[in-house]
Amino acid sequence: MEACEYDAREIGMRLKSGLADVGMTIDELAGKIGVSRWTVNEWIVGRRSPKLIDAAKICDVLGKPLDWLARRDDLLAGRA
């Protein structure tokens, strides 16, 4: 995996964790960012990744910086 790539499963795990942290459901997030419940579920299970505009909305709703959603911890730690 190149440095600019990211794993949809990692994004899904972060998203699931972020929802749990704020006590929000998939339905609530979907309503707040204007997408379907199905779309949010696809992100969470790692089948799809959110577009940049949706990622920005997710982070805004969850109170997280944009890099939280897609950062690669292995790159930050020098393990890539």
Residues 6+ apart with CB under 8 A from 16: 44
Amino acid at 3: A
What's the confidence (pLDDT) of residue 2?
Answer: 43
What's the confidence (pLDDT) of residue 73?
Answer: 60
Rounded to an integer, what distance in angstroms lies between the CA atom of residue 60 and that of residue 38?
Answer: 20
Residues 6+ apart with CB under 8 A from 53: none
CATH number for the domain including 36?
1.10.260.40
Asked, for residue 18, whether it belongs to a domain, the answer is: yes
Query: What pTM did the predictor assign?
Result: 0.81
Phi, psi of 32 (to 5 degrees): -70, -30
Q: Show pLDDT as tens, one digit a residue, over the chain (80 residues).
A: 344 456 899 999 999 999 999 999 999 999 999 999 999 999 999 999 999 999 999 999 999 998 898 776 644 455 44
What is the number of structural domains in the chain?
A: 1
Asked, for residue 2, whether it belongs to a domain, the answer is: no
Alpha-carbon torsion (14, 33, 43, 2), positive or negative: negative
